[in-house]
Amino acid sequence: MTENRIPRELDARDLDERPKMWQPASILPEPDKKPGYAYRWIRISTLGSRDPRNISGKLREGWEPVRIEEQPQFRMLVDSKSEFKDNIEVAGLLLCKTPTDFMRQRKAHYSQITRNQMSSVDNSFMRENDKRMPLFSEKKSTVSFGKGN
């Protein structure tokens, strides 16, 4: 008895693929990330007014504008009236990059500031401690799983 079977070459999963769903376009396109660099959109204007304080601060931190040659897929996003010629600007935001080493150093810096602030708050809180009614300050958390009734 012979079976009517479809040859394996004709039986493809591509035919069973789910239909693609429409999605609204994201406001800020995602750049192709180069190894060793972190990317960020930095505000250069708000509601049509320039924000030189913000961009100059970011440039001093080590951020540098990404040139259009580095991300050619954004060629149509170059603003001809921008003060940042040949860079990628979208809706008052400028695409910038910085070495990932700078980002690690920045994270360590702000983590240290946070630890110092938490220590200061704890010291201020514990200063009010009285042996007749001690304050409770536990810094660890636990996770427990219930039996579920």
SS3 at position 117: helix
**Where does residue 62 fall: left (phi above 0), alpha (psi -120 to 50 degrees), or beta otherwise?**
left
Say which amino acid occupies 23.
Q
**CA distance readout (Å), 8 to 5, 11, 13, 16, 143:** 9, 5, 11, 15, 51
- The whole-number pLDDT of residue 49 equals 83
Predicted local confidence at residue 74, as pLDDT: 80
- pLDDT tens, the chain, 149 aa long: 567 777 766 665 555 667 788 777 777 778 888 899 999 999 988 887 888 898 889 989 889 998 888 888 887 777 677 777 788 888 888 899 999 999 898 899 999 999 888 888 877 777 777 776 666 656 666 777 777 65
Q: Say what the pLDDT of residue 37 is.
A: 93
HSE-up (13 A, CA, CB side) for residue 20: 4
pLDDT of the residue at 111? 92
DSSP conformation class of 29: P
